[in-house]
């Protein structure tokens, strides 16, 4: 059974960088059959796809165009983890952040439980 | 990329059927057979209900079905049950990106 678990600070100051890690068990982030994704959800609002990383020969990323200038997703195969960095955060980045596995056929089959990140001074 | 358009709310009585729409464009919903639907109960992570427009994962009741016509996808819940009350989100591949709908709150009356 694949499991994903987000971890990282729950509070980030405005203008700083939000950093989260997703630890995967029951599956390998090196598998070329999946994308490893980040999604967020502000309180009371809908889901927003942030981006994804995958390996097929080389490591590749896709990012939401609206966030692309501030987002970096990376992979640590030795720890079976992938990470999210979001720079220059504002209150609008306050949300529950989910990591998820995405099948090659473009659907999310496994999700982490989510972690709340609040941007506030 | 713009979010897919879903009605904010839908409702039905137990045993009835409800259909939730998900409108996109030829660059997402209409251009690919990669539409998926997710159910989210309060405080929980989303759960996959439908993938590749019409396919149901193992364990999802056959009361849930999906379809697509042109740039609009739909999720139908037949034989509504109390536990179906939740938020529902559609998602589509969009040429290297992924886009979600704004979500529909389904109320079982």
Residue B68: the pLDDT is 98
Contact call for A65 and B99, based on CB within 8 A:
no
Region of poorest pLDDT, from A4-18, A54-68, B19-33, B52-66: A54-68
Whether B100 and A47 have beta carbons less than 8 Å apart is answered as yes
When pLDDT is cut at 50, 70 and 90, the band that residue A83 belongs to is very high
DSSP A10: S
Gap between the Cα atoms of A118 and B12, Å rounded = 36
For B102, the closest of A46, A49, A114 (CB atoms) is: A46
A85-107 in b/e burial notation, b at 16+ Cβ within 10 A?
ebeebeeebbbbbbbbbbbeebb
Residue A41: the pLDDT is 98
Interchain contact B71–A (C-beta under 8 A): no
Q: What is the pLDDT of residues A22-64, one digit of tens each?
A: 999 999 998 888 999 999 999 999 999 999 999 888 899 999 9
Pairing, β A71-76 against β A81-86: antiparallel
The radius of gyration of chain B from alpha carbons, rounded to an integer in Å, stands at 13
Contact call for B52 and A107, based on CB within 8 A:
yes
Residue A105: the pLDDT is 84
pLDDT at position B93 over 90: yes
Q: What is the pLDDT of residues B47-58, one digit of tens each?
A: 999 999 999 999
A4-39 in b/e burial notation, b at 16+ Cβ within 10 A?
bebeeeeebeeeeebbbbbbbeebebeeeebbbbbb
Q: What is the mean pLDDT of residues B78-103?
A: 96
pLDDT at position B1 over 80: no
Residue A31: the pLDDT is 84
Whether A73 and A51 have beta carbons less than 8 Å apart is answered as yes
Distance from CA of A56 to the nearest CA of B (A): 15
Query: Alpha carbon of B95 to those of A35, A75, A96, B43: distances in Å?
Result: 15, 23, 26, 31
Contact call for B89 and A66, based on CB within 8 A:
no
Average pLDDT across chain B, whole number: 96
């Amino acid at each position: 059974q694949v499991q994903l678990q987000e971890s990282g600070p729950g509070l980030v100051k405005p203008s700083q960088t939000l950093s989260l890690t997703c630890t995967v068990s029951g599956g390998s982030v090196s598998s070329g059959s999946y994308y490893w994704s980040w999604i967020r959800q502000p309180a009371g609002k809908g889901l927003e796809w942030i981006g994804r990383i995958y390996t097929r020969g080389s490591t590749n990323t896709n990012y939401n165009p609206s966030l692309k200038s501030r987002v970096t997703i990376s992979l640590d195969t030795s720890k079976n983890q992938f990470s999210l960095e979001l720079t220059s955060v504002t209150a609008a980045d306050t949300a529950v952040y989910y990591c998820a596995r995405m099948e090659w056929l473009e659907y999310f089959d496994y999700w982490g439980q989510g972690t709340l990140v609040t941007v506030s001074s | 990329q713009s979010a897919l358009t879903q009605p904010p709310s839908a409702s039905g009585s137990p045993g009835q059927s409800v259909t939730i729409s998900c409108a996109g464009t030829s660059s997402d919903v209409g251009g690919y057979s990669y539409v998926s639907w997710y159910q989210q109960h309060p405080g929980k992570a989303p759960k996959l209900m439908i993938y590749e427009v019409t396919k149901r994962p193992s364990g999802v009741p056959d009361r849930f079905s999906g379809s697509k016509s042109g740039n609009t996808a739909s999720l139908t819940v037949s034989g509504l049950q109390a536990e179906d009350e939740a938020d529902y989100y559609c998602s589509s591949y969009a040429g290297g990106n992924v886009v979600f709908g704004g979500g529909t709150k389904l109320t079982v009356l």
